[in-house]
Amino acid sequence: MLPDKIFGLFYMYGLMIAVGILACFGVLFYYGKKKKVEEKFIDFIFFNAIASIIVGFASAALFQATYSYIENPEAGFRLDGGITFIGGLIGGIATFLVVYALFRKRYKTRLTEVISMAPCCILIAHAFGRVGCFFAGCCYGKETDSFLGVKFPNLPHPVHPTQLYEAAFLFLLFAICFILLMKKDFKHNLTVYLIAYGIFRFLIEFVRDDDRGQLVAGISPSQFWSLVMIVAGVAVFFLLRYLEKKRLAETKDNAESVETEAKEQ
């Protein structure tokens, strides 16, 4: 039987969520220090992230309640039916962008300059969260006789530990994105994250077996949003390339303007 508490005091699910959030902020401050990002901007990102996480959890519950209601309206609209990560991700990102848009003019640093760091923060927090799901016995997979099968207390037979499959993938993707960011100053981690996780999540849904309601007939809600993530990943790639070219052109124009003024003087 899987332990649901450590030392009889802390629920493992909550503990893993807390560890994931702390690791997320650890990555944020480590990146800011190593890359010498404006301290005030990092502090702003920190407080914005806290607000986004809070809204994200609410959004995760709202999305799941919506899926369940669509599948079974007779049961009523209830917010106590669990949460869904992608729903939380959508709500969290939307909140973060709105808050950033409201206060961005106060800072010299722009989001496009540090956006490649964001997936690293999300990935490490999500990975620990999935370990928490394993201990909680949610987000499990289909029945299996494989040696990989795990018997959860609330299920009559062993199932695929899809929580651990996903956690392993997320830790690996985090390592790749973090190395690219710190060693290569890679600017397209967000595209890598959206496409890679979108593909993985779409595929692992074929192995998962916990009912999470319905949004579009024929595919699970997570598979629908996974396809959206993949398309968004491609769009983000071209958007960032456009913004980078625009920034370089503006920098060049400013330099030429300064040079011309110097010559005239």
Residue range 26-38, pLDDT digits in tens:
999 999 999 999 9
Q: What is the pLDDT of residue 249?
A: 77
What confidence tens digit (pLDDT) does each residue in 195-245 have? 999 999 999 999 998 877 777 778 899 999 999 999 999 999 999 999 888
Instruction: Say which range, 3-7, 44-48, 67-71, 142-146, has the weakest mean pLDDT.
Output: 3-7
Residue 231 belongs to domain spanning: 5-264
Please give the Cα distance from 85 to 59 (Å, whole number).
Answer: 9
Q: How far is Cα of residue 50 from the mean position of the Cα atoms in its chain?
A: 14
Q: Total domain count for the chain?
A: 1
What is the rounded distance in angstroms from the CA atom of residue 227 to the CA atom of residue 11?
34
Phi/psi at 216 (5° precision) = -125, 130
